[in-house]
């Protein structure tokens, strides 16, 4: 079962955060937002189907987040794996955050992630810093 978010990069994308990565519906990004990969997301967790949310609300759920970045000339793709949690609500109406820790709030989309923003490929990050389009596919198994 999948949920898909489309967004775009921004000149301030740095992807240096060591415990989270995030996609936001905001239309701006400051240099301090070192976990944010993309802005102007077309959907937020509050838009997700109830069936998807239910499937994520167990410690046994495996969640895979595939980040696809297209520049027109090149496509970059990277998948981060983690797990669900009974406290995931997907109520956030502004952004979604994927965490290496077990911390959960209304924006959390996955806990126990393989890596955070700092684990993304340098070329993928550079493409996002140039404003490339991002597709985020979240799959729960």
7 φ/ψ angles, rounded to the nearest 5 degrees? -155, -175
pLDDT at residue 28 in the model: 96
- Residue 84's CB is within 10 A of a number of other CB atoms, namely 24
- Of the CATH numbers 3.30.1360.200, 1.10.287.3510, 1.10.1040.10, 2.60.120.630, which one belongs to the domain with range 2-140? 2.60.120.630
- List alpha helices for the chain, DSSP H: 50-56, 122-129
Which tens digits make up the pLDDT trace of 97-112? 999 999 999 999 999 9
Q: How wide is the angle at C-alpha 29 spanned by C-alphas 21 and 75, nearest 5°? A: 60
pLDDT at residue 49 in the model: 98
The span from the CA of 1 to the CA of 21, in Å, is 21
pLDDT at residue 30 in the model: 95
| Residue 23, helix vs strand vs coil | strand
Q: pTM to 2 decimals?
A: 0.97
pLDDT at residue 124 in the model: 98
């Amino acid at each position: 079962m999948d949920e898909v978010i489309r967004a775009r990069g921004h000149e301030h994308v740095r992807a240096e955060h060591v415990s989270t990565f995030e996609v936001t519906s905001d239309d701006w990004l400051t240099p301090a937002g070192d976990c944010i990969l993309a802005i102007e997301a077309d959907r937020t967790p509050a838009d997700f189907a109830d069936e998807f949310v239910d499937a994520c609300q167990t410690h046994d759920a495996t969640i895979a987040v595939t980040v696809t970045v297209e520049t027109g000339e090149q496509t970059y793709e990277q998948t981060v794996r983690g797990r669900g949690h009974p406290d995931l609500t997907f109520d956030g109406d502004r952004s979604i955050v994927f965490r290496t820790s077990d911390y959960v709030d209304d924006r959390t989309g996955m806990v126990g992630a393989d890596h955070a923003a700092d684990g993304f490929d340098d070329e993928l990050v550079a493409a996002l810093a140039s404003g490339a389009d991002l597709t985020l596919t979240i799959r729960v198994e």
